[in-house]
């Protein structure tokens, strides 16, 4: 095997390794993103709010029952 042939094989191997690294880092990034969404789904935080002082802003407005039960702490709004 000549020196040139060895260089071509080395270059091809290097290109193969680089392409693999790029490909697997893209896959890993996508998996992390997907896991982020899935992990948030597993959060089961039951949030029971029993007092909201904002309601007291209006004169004569007094909360008697005040139960809000949700199962995530994430917010969109």
Inter-residue long-range contacts of 44-52, CB under 8 Å, 24+ positions, other chains counted: 44/71, 44/72, 45/71, 45/72, 45/73, 46/70, 46/71, 47/71, 47/73
Nearest approach in angstroms of CB 30 to other proteins is 11
List residues binding other proteins (CB under 8 A).
37, 40-44, 46, 49, 52, 54-55, 57-72, 74-77
Nearest approach in angstroms of CB 25 to other proteins is 20
Task: Indicate the residue among 2 and 50 with the shorter CB distance to other proteins.
Answer: 50
């Amino acid at each position: 095997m000549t020196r040139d042939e060895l260089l071509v094989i080395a270059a091809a191997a290097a290109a193969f390794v680089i392409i693999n690294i790029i490909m697997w880092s893209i896959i890993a990034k996508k998996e992390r993103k997907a896991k982020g969404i899935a992990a948030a789904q597993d959060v089961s935080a039951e949030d029971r709010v029993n007092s909201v002082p904002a309601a007291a802003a209006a004169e004569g407005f007094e909360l008697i029952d005040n139960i809000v039960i949700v199962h995530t702490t994430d917010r969109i709004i």
